[in-house]
Amino acid sequence: MPRSHQLLPEARTVLGEEVAPELNLCQIEVGTPVCHTLDEVRDHLSRLRTGLHRAGEQLGVAAAATATHPFSWWQHQQVDLSNERYSRMDNTYQIVAREQVICGCHVHVGLGDGDLAVAVMNRVRPWLPVLLALSANSPFWQGIDTGYASYRLQVWQRWPTSGMPPDLGGRREYDDLVRELQAIGAVEDATFLYWYVRPSARFPTLEFRVCDVCLDVEHTVAIAGLIRALAATTAEEVVTGRLAVLPKREVMEAAVWRAARYGLEGLLVSPLTWTPQPAPVVVNELLDHVNDALEEHGDAETVRAAVQDLVGGGNGATLQRRAFRRRGDGREVVAEVLSRTVPPLAGAGRSNGKPFA
């Protein structure tokens, strides 16, 4: 039974406005404050997950960091119709809204300048599949193995404005596009653009939205560090006038599909050669591409260690499937997810640099 409406008040007594309702009553959203270091990201995520866990204990429920539930049915869930925005979404999008029982990880990177944010958005698109493959954590849907590492992406793409963002000439062109979509009733405002990456409608940030929510905090921290380094590397290319040669949008979209399908266990599309390559090869290409920014922020050791763990030990999708194979029981998957959602106390690495939001 959906119970976030009971968990939320209990959690807010400890965590305040850092926890919030989501579209469905079986979901709850957590959001860190602005962070400048990976240590801060780790500390806040650990605090938020631990706080949710303790609040849930009072009610006999638990928060699970998975992008889809292993066996529950979306038909058994309920859109939060008490929320005016969500009620309008339910009325407009009907079954598409009701099926969105999925959880993503959104990382904001502070860039400030609107034109720079759009330019960075254009250029980071080839690397989005690698971020998705690392974070993929939704292999099951309604009790079956979907064959996808990230089935969340397949569900998310049902929104009419989801997917790979277009190549835009600057903030003015972005704003014009939003107005055109509003004029035909496709969106109410820019918050309804469900692209893999977009300029935030609320903050002076670029918001990366392609990732599944990760099983554990350390992998989330590493992906946040990779995203900041990618944004910083790309911003430097824009400022220095480095030429960007990008493939067609359809090719990049297909590369995202491949990442969702195979995760880290198959071939990914290399943004350097635009050919399928083993996933570890393409992951290393990303690490090399952003290495200078990782070093500048003091994040290289932390990020590389966690990425090595992901590639060697498996992402969330791999770990969920491994748990299922132990007994052929979805409850075993839930137990695995719960055991990894709340982090143990751990030492922190060192980092500094441009802010996350």
Residue 344, pLDDT score: 77
Residue 181, pLDDT score: 96
Q: Where does the pLDDT of residue 5 fall: very low under 50, low under 70, confident under 90, or very high at 90 and above?
A: confident
Residue 3, pLDDT score: 80
pTM score, two decimals?
A: 0.94
User: At 238, which CATH number?
Assistant: 3.30.590.20
Number of structural domains (the chain) is 1
Give the 3-state secondary structure of 31-79. CCCCCCCHHHHHHHHHHHHHHHHHHHHCCCCCCCCCCCCCCCCHHHCCE
In a domain, 61, yes or no: no
| Range(s) of the domain holding residue 269 | 104-341
Euclidean distance between CA atoms 72 and 143, whole angstroms: 7
Euclidean distance between CA atoms 326 and 353, whole angstroms: 43
In a domain, 290, yes or no: yes
In a domain, 34, yes or no: no
pLDDT digit string, tens, across residues 190-216: 999 999 999 999 899 999 999 999 999
Mean pLDDT (whole number) for 277-296:
98
Residue 64, pLDDT score: 94
Residue 101, pLDDT score: 96
Nearest of 165, 169, 158, 152 to residue 193 by alpha carbon = 165
In a domain, 310, yes or no: yes
In a domain, 63, yes or no: no
Euclidean distance between CA atoms 218 and 10, whole angstroms: 26
In a domain, 95, yes or no: no
Q: Where does the pLDDT of residue 351 fall: very low under 50, low under 70, confident under 90, or very high at 90 and above?
A: very low
Residue 357, pLDDT score: 41
Q: Is the pLDDT of residue 242 over 90?
A: yes
Q: Is the pLDDT of residue 81 over 50?
A: yes
Average pLDDT over the chain, rounded to whole? 94
Residue 345, pLDDT score: 53
In a domain, 165, yes or no: yes
- How many residues are given for the chain? 357
Q: How many CB atoms lie within 10 A of CB 201?
A: 12
Residue 4, pLDDT score: 84
Residue 6, pLDDT score: 87
Q: For a pLDDT cut of 70, what percent of the chain falls above it?
A: 96
Two tokens at 172?
Answer: 């003015």
Q: Is the pLDDT of residue 182 over 90?
A: yes
Residue 356, pLDDT score: 45
DSSP 157: T
In a domain, 66, yes or no: no
Q: Where does the pLDDT of residue 241 fall: very low under 50, low under 70, confident under 90, or very high at 90 and above?
A: very high
